[in-house]
Structure 1
């Protein structure tokens, strides 16, 4: 049932799909880079990585990035997914370990590769050092601060979710939606639009209420679609941290009914996203191209998540024919 709902939502999605011409070549390049950094990847793990297709995900979100930049973005995406796995697997990191990881990551992003923290070491650290090198070199200080703040928000969300799971406390719908905006890492992907396109936004525009609302709705759309795709996994391990499960509990309905409620909520959110995007005001000729690139990037994040989820081996959805 869930698979049919996912494919129906993709059919209803008015956002155009995009894919970088360098995506598959970058996916072939990735495994040797990870092995060279000392990640413990045996044949099974490498096959899982190949089937996940993180380079295709990055290529859907940043379809116009240069090949060298797509490699950087793919390594960053891989790092975030590996951290997500570490926080969500059966032998997952404890809340204190996640807090220590957060502190080490933020020290590296703020102070550079010489910053050391006992909670963040080994291959994961080396992977982030490599991925961060080019954005740190090329992007201005205000952008680096914006990106680092987004990473802090994301890892705080991972910590809060871990605390709730450890306590056996399932969230209500409103609490979950707010938490999911952090754990999704969508807000981390948005600053990277500027890195990929070379079009930067002043803070006053990036944080403008209209753009913030579009970013929020886009985050919800990709998060809720992901929740539908990962429902079977989350029923076994997420402790109620899935919008479908939260809806089923709060409304006192079967999970199958909650799936339909989430699909209706997604469609309403998509209509709101399209309307908000169409109503964005002009910020003047000097900024409008950069604003358009940012809005296109948020749309690519939504549509790219939809398409990648249905093709990736990371989720129990049969590949589209």
Structure 2
């Protein structure tokens, strides 16, 4: 059932799909050149799983206009976040103290640079983040770097909160889950990277403008809820209720099949809201409008890119 709902929502999505022409070449670079140099403890099956996930194609859908060198960097960053997700939420996951230390170590590296070491971030994860962060740190302003670091801290704090809930066997209600999911999705990390790709960072007052913030929140919800539908079967066994379908089923007292339809309807309403909000964005002046459009297009690409990548990635085997 979930697979048919996902296909239906994809067909209804008004955002056109996009894909970088470098997608497959960068995916080959990831699997053949980057991953073998990191010293990850991967067996053959683990290497195939990472290759099948298609992280380069995901980055290529979100940043279709990036240069090939920048797309490699973005792919490396995406790989870092997915490896962290696996470490915090997979078999043998990190404990709460280790997740907190990982967050602190990552944020310190992003803010202070690679010369500063923290015991919470070491080994392949540290090497990959150092390598991925070198060029953004060189090219972008201190204000933008802090914005990105704040987004990473928010994401990893959400990861810690979810792990704490699971440790306590506590399933969140719908409102709490929606807010938490906005952190764990890492969408707020992907949005500032639009400014890196275009080279046109926005002033904080514009980036955090209430209307643009609402558009970002809505886009985050759209991609996160679609992902929740795709990962329902896995999450049913492992997430401790951390999936919008499961939260709706628990709060409404309905079956998961009914909850799937309710979440799909909620997704459709949010997509209508997303389109309406984009149509109301005012001019911020000739010096900023192009950068604002870039950001809005980037949020839209993140929504559509997540949909298309989810349907093709081996990371989310779908049920009919």
1:129-148 correspondence runs (5 A): 129-148=130-149
Report the secondary structure of 2:271's partner residue. helix
1:103-118 correspondence runs (5 A): 103-118=104-119
Separation in 1 of the partners of 2:235 and 2:46? 21
Is 2:2–2:319's contact at 8 Å kept on the other side of the alignment?
no
Residue 2 of structure 1 corresponds to which residue in structure 2?
A: 2
TM-score, structure 1 length as denominator? 0.98
Residue 181 of structure 2 corresponds to which residue in structure 1?
A: 180
Separation in 1 of the partners of 2:288 and 2:108? 32
Report the secondary structure of 1:20's partner residue. coil
The alignment status of 1:276 with 2:283, answered yes or no, reads no
Q: Give the superposition deviation at 1:304.
A: 0.2
Separation in 2 of the partners of 1:161 and 1:237? 12
Residue 14 of structure 2 corresponds to which residue in structure 1?
A: 14
Report the secondary structure of 1:17's partner residue. coil
Residue 292 of structure 1 corresponds to which residue in structure 2?
A: 293
Separation in 2 of the partners of 1:106 and 1:61? 23
Q: Give the superposition deviation at 1:318.
A: 7.2
Over the aligned positions, Cα root-mean-square deviation in angstroms equals 1.0
1:1-321 correspondence runs (5 A): 1-31=1-31, 32-317=33-318
Gaps of 5+ in 2: none
TM-score, structure 2 length as denominator? 0.98
Report the secondary structure of 1:225's partner residue. helix
Per-residue CA deviation, residues 76-124 of structure 1 (Å, 9 max, x unaligned), is 0000000001111121111111001011111101111011111110011
Change (3 A) 1:318 1:60: farther
Aligned length: 319
Per-residue CA deviation, residues 263-307 of structure 1 (Å, 9 max, x unaligned), is 000000000000000110000111111100100000000000000
Separation in 1 of the partners of 2:93 and 2:108? 23
Q: Give the superposition deviation at 1:218.
A: 0.2
Separation in 1 of the partners of 2:161 and 2:305? 27
Per-residue CA deviation, residues 218-246 of structure 1 (Å, 9 max, x unaligned), is 00000000000000000000000000000
